[in-house]
Amino acid sequence: MLTNAMYLCATISICMLQTIDLTFQYKGGQPFVFPDLTVGAKESMLLLGRSGIGKTTLLHLLGGLMQPSKGKILIDGADISHKSGRDLDRFRGKHIGIIFQQNHFIASLNVMDNILLAQTLIGDKANVERANHLLERLSIASKANQPINKLSQGEKQRVAIARAVINKPGLILADEPTSALDDQNCVAVYKLLEEQAVEEGSALVIVTHDNRLKSEVNHQIILQ
């Protein structure tokens, strides 16, 4: 595995995500030992595996939502395994965009404000122009000023994607983005995600057990 990672990194010009020796152990539980991962800018990777194998744990580790027991996580060259507190919060907000299986929003804000919040929360100025551009790219520009809960699930997912990429993150994480969709929409959503990763120069990691995606993405890691 280590050799595989080294090989990949040598061939990719910009290494956006790299994990080395990643281990996580819940209190009193069996340790999860994860394979080393390497994803370049504008590249996609599938993280597959059956339930309970640690997919969500890995997602939270990569997303900077918890700290590994051992090992390194490099995102855009920065090691987040040693970051904590405010430092990690800020880094997460700026460099990692996460799309959850069930997307939550701030109910009191409209579509535009939900997206802009991702900018203002990390202390950046709200860039309405960029948000509009993203909404247009995702074909939901007409919904910009609607209350978020007036949108359909599909529209909400697009808003979640816009929110995840607004800060031009090095890493886009998607958790089961297609599991609730039919075949046609499944591919469409993947294409949409891939498109955003390419546009923003991000690495895209999709955590899923959706076999339909296997034919779309070459780079696959199966957790065992």
- Nearest approach in angstroms of CB 173 to another protein is 10
* Binding to another protein, residues 151-180 (CB under 8 A): 163
Does position 68 interact with another protein (CB under 8 A)? The reply is no
CA nearest neighbour of 44 among 223, 168, 196: 196
Does position 128 interact with another protein (CB under 8 A)? The reply is no
Question: What residues are paired with 45 via a beta bridge?
Answer: 205
CA atoms within 13 A on the CB side of 57: 20
Of the pair 44, 57, the CB lying nearest another protein is at 57
Cα–Cα distance measured from residue 158 to residue 185, given in angstroms and rounded to the nearest whole number: 12
From the list 27, 29, 52, 86, which residue makes contact with another protein (rule: CB under 8 A)? Answer: 86
Cα–Cα distance measured from residue 128 to residue 144, given in angstroms and rounded to the nearest whole number: 10
Cα–Cα distance measured from residue 214 to residue 136, given in angstroms and rounded to the nearest whole number: 29
From the list 22, 45, 118, 186, which residue makes contact with another protein (rule: CB under 8 A)? Answer: 118
From the list 12, 49, 56, 212, which residue makes contact with another protein (rule: CB under 8 A)? Answer: 56
Question: Parallel, antiparallel, or unpaired for β 220-222 and 38-40?
Answer: unpaired
From the list 42, 55, 94, 143, which residue makes contact with another protein (rule: CB under 8 A)? Answer: 94
Stretch that binds another protein, among 7-15, 31-39, 47-55, 88-96 (CB under 8 A): 88-96
Question: What residues are paired with 15 via a beta bridge?
Answer: 40
Beta strands in 109-182 (DSSP E): 171-175
- Nearest approach in angstroms of CB 168 to another protein is 14
Q: Are 154 and 103 in contact (CB under 8 A)?
A: no
Q: Are 209 and 176 in contact (CB under 8 A)?
A: yes
- Nearest approach in angstroms of CB 215 to another protein is 27
Q: Where is 85: in which H helix or E strand?
A: helix 85-95
Does position 78 interact with another protein (CB under 8 A)? The reply is no
Question: How many residues interact with another protein (rule CB under 8 A)?
Answer: 29
Does position 109 interact with another protein (CB under 8 A)? The reply is yes
**Residues that bind another protein in the complex, under the rule CB under 8 A:** 56, 60, 63, 65-66, 85-86, 89-90, 92-94, 98, 100-102, 104-109, 113, 117-118, 120-122, 163
